[in-house]
Structure 1
Amino acid sequence: MTGLKLITFDLDNTLWPVDEVIRQAERTCGAWITEHHPEASAALTAERIRSVRDRLIGEQPDYLNNLTRLRRDAMAQAFIEAGFAEREARHIAQDAFLVFHEARNKVSFFPGALEVLETLADSYTLGALSNGNADLERIGIRDLFAFHHSAESIGKRKPEADMFRAALHSAGVTATQAVHVGDHPLEDVDAARQHGFHAVWANLIDLSWPSDLDQPSHYIHNLHELTDLLPLFDD
């Protein structure tokens, strides 16, 4: 079998810019804690949570495979270290994470993203591969994708092979029939190449390519450009 069948997309900074989304979600979460648990708000400064998260990752690197657990546990630990009983700390952290996650999924797409996805879904199998915890159902684009694999659902984050293998299994295709589109030079582009996929660097936020990686063969600065590249992968 030849020809392109599957297109997989990274999500954050590929279909939408994410940095301000996360900052706003953190502000929303902090405001909720201040309103509902004012005695806990002093323990949840951004710097404090960052410090606790870094420590947790240092102690258990596997946290990077589940950012939901990492953020929730970091909040709980910050509350515990501020003097809260563990049960209460974890209860507040769980509720606060739900507030954070709702706001985290209020994204604004890059120009043309929805139009391109809708067009491609008519001709190709589309899949989402993400290290993050975006929820396609909440965002409103779940119906455009045949599957969504994440570091949380697979248990390993990109650039490991697991997520890419899962995509091929879900779509019933070989790696030569698949192209992965993503913003991260190592976790998306180089990983896809290493695992046999075609790769497109979606450089929509003007990153610099790392000097220690081979230059990408294909790149775009606007998602509309993707449709012009796809015939190159049909040979």
Structure 2
Amino acid sequence: MPSVTPDSMTLDVKRIAAISLDLDDTLWPIWPTIERAERVLHEWLVREAPKTASLLITPGVLRELREATAKERSDLAHDLSALRRESIRAALRRAGEDPKLADPAFDAFFAERQRVTLYDDVLPALRWLSERYPLVAISNGNADLKLTGVSRWFRSGFNAREFGSGKPHAPIFRAAAASVGLLPKDVLHVGDDAVLDVVGALDAGMQAAWLVRDERPWEHGARPQLIVPNLHALCMALESA
């Protein structure tokens, strides 16, 4: 596991008045959650729309429908929930079943998608961080802070669907800072995605910590002020600075 790595752009801890956090793959692993939610969705379709369920087990069909939906509905690029719902609706139409079933089918998927399993370091870290800084969530995904059980630690939360645009674009970072009465320069953003989280936060004027739970090289220009393997290491870096 990689160790805490300060970059040549030294983290200015004294400047940090709040911390913003990504959610998926920062607080919990996303793909096991999505795979389980897709199984629940398929089970629902087997019961309620069996032709569609049969269609979607054909290799490549679901991906084809998602790509077609994303192309046809570019206005929904920032809204993963709407894209998922419209992909289900397209599958129902192709299978000759009632497209109105897309809404309850998506509801089954969405409820299971909120049943996340936090990384072991997350709860102790959120407790420690929230006692020292206001925390704000910034996510391009469709996790719900309350339904995932982490809302108690956060002052506010922003996702691309509700905000209208997402990371790496600067407005969502600026809005997150403003929600706790700060400028971006006073906020440290923490996330796993090099471009969406780190480059986006730096471009918005924040400091950035890259959370890398596996060994990966940094392959971009502007670098994070801190690289950590988990949130425990982030807390240690902040405490020892």
Structure 2 length-normalised TM: 0.88
Q: Which residue of 2 aligns with 1:71?
A: 84
Confirm whether residue 39 of structure 1 aligns to residue 51 of structure 2. yes
Structure 1 residue runs of 5 or longer lacking an equivalent are none
Aligned residues: 227
Offset, 1:59? 2.7
Matches within 5 A, 1:84-163: 84=97, 88-89=98-99, 91-163=100-172
**Matched residue SS, 2:55:** coil
Aligned with 1:53: secondary structure? helix
Matching residue within 29, 34, 38 for 1:17: 29
Decide whether the 8 Å contact of 1:13 with 1:205 is kept in 2. no
Q: Secondary structure at the match of 1:181?
A: strand
Cα deviations by residue, 1:146-205 (Å, 9 ceiling, x for unpaired): 111000011001101121111021010111210000000000001101110010001124
CA distance in 1, matches of 2:183, 2:174: 9
Greater Cα offset, 14-23 or 51-60: 51-60
C-alpha separation between the residues in 2 aligned to 1:113 and 1:79?
A: 39
Counterpart of 1:189 in structure 2: which amino acid?
A: V
Q: Separation in 2 of the partners of 1:36 and 1:61?
A: 29
- Is the aligned partner of 1:228 residue 2:236? yes
Moved more, 103-112 or 59-68: 59-68
Identity of aligned residues (%): 33
Instruction: Give the superposition deviation at 1:96.
Output: 1.0
Q: State the distance in 2 between where 1:232 and 1:189 align.
A: 22
Which of residues 22, 43, 54 in structure 1 aligns to 2:67? Answer: 54
Pick from 179, 199, 219: which aligns with 1:190? 199
SS of equivalent residue, structure 2 residue 117: coil
Aligned partners of 1:111 and 1:222 also within 8 Å: no
Residues 4-35 of structure 1: CA deviation (Å, up to 9, x unaligned) = 21100000000111111111110111011102
Q: Which residue of structure 2 aligns with residue 216 of structure 1? A: 224
**Distance (Å, rounded) in 2 between the aligned partners of 1:155 and 1:205:** 31
Q: Which runs of 5+ in 2 are unaligned?
A: 1-13
Name the amino acid aligned to 2:162.
S
Distance 1:190 1:133 in 2: 21
C-alpha distance in structure 1 between counterparts of 2:240 and 2:68, whole Å: 45
Q: Which residue of 2 aligns with 1:178?
A: 187
Off by >6 Å, runs of 4+ in structure 1: none
Structure 1 length normalisation: TM-score?
Answer: 0.90
Shift of 1:231: 5.7
Aligned to 2:6: none
Report if the CA contact (8 A) 2:174-2:183 is conserved: no
What value does the CA root-mean-square deviation take over the aligned residues? 1.8
Answer yes or no: is the 8 Å Cα contact 2:22–2:138 preserved in 1.
Answer: yes
Q: Which is worse superposed, 223-232 or 63-72?
A: 223-232
The structural deviation recorded for 1:232 is 8.3
